[in-house]
A and B are shown apart, each in its own frame.
Chain A
Amino acid sequence: MLGYIVRRLLSAGLVVTLTSMIVFALFFLGPDNPAQPLCDINGKCTPERLALLTEQLGLNDTVYHQYWIWLQGLFVGREISFGPIYQCSAPCLGISYSTRNEVTAELLDKFPATLSLAIGGSLIYLLVGVFLGTMAARVRGTLADRGLVTMSLIVSSIPYYVLAILAWIYLSLEWQIFPDTTYHPLTDGIGAWAYGLLLPWLVLGLAQSTAYARYTRGQMVETLGEDYIRTATAKGVAKRKVIFQHALRAAIVPVITIFGLDFAFLLAGTVVTEEIFDIDGIGQWGIRALRAPVDFPVVAATVLIGAVIIVIANIIVDILYSFIDPRVRVS
Chain B
Amino acid sequence: MTSERFLSTPAQSTSDRAADIAAADNFLVVDHLSVRFPTHDGLVQAVTDLSFSVKRGETLGIVGESGSGKSVSSMAVLGLHDAKSTRLEGSIRVGGQEVVGADESTLRKLRGKEVAMIFQDPLTALHPFYSVGRQIAEAYRIHHKVSKGEARKRAIEMLDRVGIPQAKNRVDDFPHQFSGGMRQRAMIAMSLVNDPKLLIADEPTTALDVTVQAQILDLLQDLQREFNSAIIMITHDLGVIAELADEVLVMYGGRAVETGATKQILTHPEMPYTWGLLSSVPEVSADEDARLIPIPGNPPSLLNPPSGCPFNPRCTHKDKVPGDLCVTTLPELLPARVGPSHRRRCHLPDPEVIYLTEVLPEIAPDLIDPTTGEPIAALQEIAAASEAEANADSRGDQR
Interface residues of A (CB under 8 A from B): 141, 226-228, 230-239, 246, 249-250, 324-327, 330
User: Which residue of chain B is the closest to A253 with respect to CB atoms?
Assistant: B129
The CA-CA distance from A94 to B143 in the complex, in Å, is 67
Contacts of A231 in B (CB 8 A): 117, 119, 125-127
Known A228-B126, A231-B125, A239-B104; judge A326-B174 contact (CB<8 A).
yes
CA distance A326 to B133 in the complex (A): 14
CA distance A246 to B80 in the complex (A): 16
**With a CB–CB cut-off of 8 A, which chain B residues contact A327?**
128, 174, 176
Known: A227-B125, A250-B128, A250-B129. A234 touches B78 (CB 8 A): yes
Q: Which of B75, B113, B129 contacts A324 (CB 8 A)?
A: B129
**Total cross-chain contacts (CB, 8 A):** 72
Q: Are B109 and A325 in contact (CB under 8 A)?
A: no
| B171 at the A interface (CB under 8 A) | no
Residues on the A chain within 8 Å of B113, using CB = 236
Would A326 and B129 count as touching, CB distance under 8 A?
Answer: yes
Q: Name which residue of chain B comes closest to A232, CB basis.
A: B127
CA distance A327 to B176 in the complex (A): 7
B177 at the interface (CB under 8 A from A): yes
Contact of B129 among A234, A235, A325, A330 (CB under 8 A): A325
Residues of B within 8 A of A326 (CB): 128-129, 131, 174, 176
CA distance A238 to B125 in the complex (A): 17
Contact status A234-B138, CB under 8 Å = no
By Cβ-Cβ distance, the 9 closest A-B pairs, closest first, are: A236-B111, A236-B112, A227-B124, A235-B112, A228-B127, A326-B174, A227-B125, A235-B139, A236-B142
The smallest beta-carbon distance between A148 and chain B, in angstroms, is: 18
Q: Does B116 contact A (CB under 8 A)?
A: yes
Whether A236 contacts B128 by the Cβ 8 Å rule is no
Nearest-neighbour CB distance to chain B for A225, whole angstroms, equals: 11
* A interface secondary structure, majority: helix
Residues of A within 8 A of B128 (CB): 228, 250, 325-327
Taking CB atoms, residues of chain A closer than 8 Å to B129 are 249-250, 324-326
- A281–B108 CA distance with the chains assembled, in angstroms: 54
Residue of B nearest to A326 (CB): B174
Report how far A230 CA is from B75 CA in the complex, Å: 10
Q: Is the CB of A235 within 8 A of B80?
A: no
Closest-by-CB residue of B relative to A325 is B129
Query: Which residues of B are found within 8 Å of A228, using beta-carbon distances?
Result: 124-128
Nearest CB on A from B263, distance (A) = 32
A233 touches B127 (CB 8 A): no
- Quick check: A235 and B142 within 8 Å, CB to CB? yes
Do the beta carbons of B190 and A235 come within 8 Å of each other? yes
Q: Counting CB contacts under 8 A, is B98 at the interface?
A: no
Given contacts A141-B84, A231-B119, A235-B138, 11 further A-B contacts (CB under 8 A): A141-B85, A227-B125, A230-B75, A235-B112, A235-B116, A236-B139, A238-B104, A246-B127, A250-B129, A326-B128, A330-B177
A47, B308: Cα distance in complex, Å:
100
- A227:B78 contact, CB within 8 angstroms: no
Mark interface residues in B129-158 (1 if CB within 8 Å of A CB, else 0): 111000000110011000000000000000
**B127, chain A: closest CB distance, angstroms:** 4
Q: List the B side residues contacting A236 at CB < 8 Å.
A: 108-113, 139, 142-143
Is residue B89 contacting chain A, with contact meaning CB distance below 8 A? Answer: no
Contact of B142 among A227, A237, A250 (CB under 8 A): A237
Q: What B residues does A325 contact at CB under 8 A?
A: 128-129
A97 → chain B, closest Cβ, in Å? 52
Which one of B116, B121, B131 lies within 8 Å of A227 (CB-CB)? B121
Per-residue interface assignment for chain B, residues 209 to 224, with 1 indicating a CB less than 8 Å from any chain A CB and 0 otherwise: 0000000000000000
Docked pose: A250 CA to B175 CA in angstroms: 14
Closest to A237 in B: B142
B127: A residues at CB distance < 8 A: 228, 231-232, 246, 249-250
B35 shortest CB reach to chain A, Å: 15
Residues of chain B within 8 A of A233, CB atoms compared: 80, 111
Q: A96 to B109, alpha carbons, bound, how many Å?
A: 70
Give bound CA distance, A201 to B49, whole Å: 58
18 A/B residue pairs, CB under 8 Å, sorted by A:
A141-B84, A141-B85, A228-B125, A230-B119, A231-B125, A232-B127, A234-B78, A234-B111, A235-B116, A235-B139, A236-B112, A236-B143, A238-B104, A250-B127, A326-B131, A326-B176, A327-B174, A330-B177
Residues in B with CB closer than 8 Å to A330 are 176-177
Task: Give the distance to chain A from B46, nearest Cβ to Cβ, in Å.
Answer: 16
Q: Which residues of B contact A249 (CB under 8 A)?
A: 127, 129-130
CA distance A239 to B129 in the complex (A): 19
Q: Give the shortest distance, in Å, between B112 (CB) and chain A (any CB).
A: 4
